[in-house]
Amino acid sequence: MSDHKFEIFLATVPGLEQALFDEAKALGLPTPKLIPGGVSFDGGWPDVWRANLCLRGATRVLARIGSFPVFHLAQLDKRARKFPWADVLPTDKTIRVETTCKRSKIYHDRAATQRIERALQDTLGVEIKAEADITLKVRIEDNLCTFSVDTSGESLHKRGHKTATGKAPMRETLAALFLRQMGYDGTTSVVDPMCGSGTFVIEAAEWASGLFPGRSRAFAFEAFASFDVDAFEKLKAAAAPTEPELMFFGSDRNDGAVQNSRKNAENASVSDCTAFTHAAISDLENPGVSPGIVIVNPPYGTRIGNKKLLYAVYGSLGKVLLERFSGWRVGIITSDGGLAKATGLDFSDIGPPISHGGLKIKLYQTSALP
């Protein structure tokens, strides 16, 4: 496994595959392919490390380490025992096995899981646990068994910087892909007038600063037998962070949210290029820089706030943006098209529905405001 190519799968929330594909291409990952639920490409372990460290939009990175046809449990047991697990998996870490079976002669997920767990215990001597260091994902579909290892560990939205959060925070991975959907590339300022814990502002500032999103966290692959710590440290050292000339702005009517945002920006090393202020929508001011992007994730009225009162909030937001942000492009994320319409903004693009916190949300984009 150490010197050959294998399939690598970059997972994301359905509906955001194209944005992740664009990011994978921009990062220079080899021949990425758009598939349901994410992006795949063929590469080696250094590509796995780079994808985890550098991609802003992927939720996790899976390495497809092998596959074979299988038609009954005895055959699965035999082939699982012959599989070269030691090329990838360590013997001193706990393993969790997750199996799904579809359209196959082996249809019992739990029975298949037990055979593979036993094979791992007998051939590798590892401990099997429900809460484990490493997750092995097994997919038996159309009588083809595929083994994948989760190389990320914790979801990649957990950058390791956001220690202070409020209600219903936007995940960093979602924020990055919404920004990319708006054409953001790190060369324009970003304003979020309902910044919450500062996710959009901090994500944009990190991006513009050339900071790797995974720089402050650990990954599951660091425990793998295939891991080369010196090569990975060299990859991390290749970052070329710069102090952007741009500024990134957030505001919120909740002073606690503003304090949280400042703390998170400091943890992410972008406090010098971010500014967070305590302000209601009616007090929102144009920061006086070249027009860029306004992106906002207002309350939807489902979990936070009274929906009837929100129509006035959305209306006020749209009015302020039209009056004070000429030339800026606006992105509003909401689960309710009626609320988006209440802004009075002319949306030139409406994105696909995205699952977020049990809801389906969409990105409503405008062209440059008149």
In the 3-class helix/strand/coil scheme, how is 274-287 assigned residue by residue? Answer: EEEEECCHHHCCCC
Query: 295: which residues sit within 8 A by CB, 6+ positions away?
Result: 178, 179, 182, 190, 191, 192, 200, 330, 331, 332, 333
Q: Among all chains, which residue has been given the structure tokens 């102090």?
A: 243
pLDDT value, residue 111 = 95
Q: Which amino acid is at 180?
A: R
pTM of the model: 0.93
Please report the pLDDT score of residue 346 as a whole number.
Answer: 97
pLDDT of 1: 45
Q: Looking at residue 4, what is its pLDDT?
A: 81
Cα 43 off chain centre by: 20
Per-residue confidence in pLDDT tens, the chain, 370 aa: 445 899 999 999 999 999 999 999 999 999 999 999 999 999 999 999 999 999 999 999 999 999 999 999 999 999 999 999 999 999 999 999 999 999 999 999 999 999 999 999 999 999 999 999 999 999 999 999 999 999 999 999 999 887 777 666 789 999 999 999 999 999 999 999 999 999 999 999 999 999 999 999 999 999 999 999 999 999 999 988 899 999 999 999 999 999 999 999 999 999 999 999 999 999 999 999 999 999 999 988 755 556 778 999 999 999 999 999 999 999 999 999 999 999 999 999 999 999 988 889 999 999 999 9
Three-state DSSP at 88 gives coil
DSSP three-state, residue 156:
coil
Calpha distance 280→201 (Å, rounded): 17
Query: Measured between alpha carbons, how far is 189 from 174 in angstroms, rounded to an integer?
Result: 19
DSSP string spanning 4-52?
Answer: S-EEEEEE--TT-HHHHHHHHHHHT-SS-EEETTEEEEEE-HHHHHHHH
H or E stretch at 215: none
Q: What is the pLDDT, as a whole number, of residue 305?
A: 52
Residues 6 or more apart whose Cβ sits within 8 Å of residue 234 = none
Residue 339 exposed, middle or buried by CB count within 10 Å (0-12, 13-18, 19+): buried
Domains (range + CATH), the chain: 6-150 (3.30.2130.30), 172-212+242-366 (3.40.50.150)
Choose among 198, 191, 205, 143: nearest CA to 165.
198
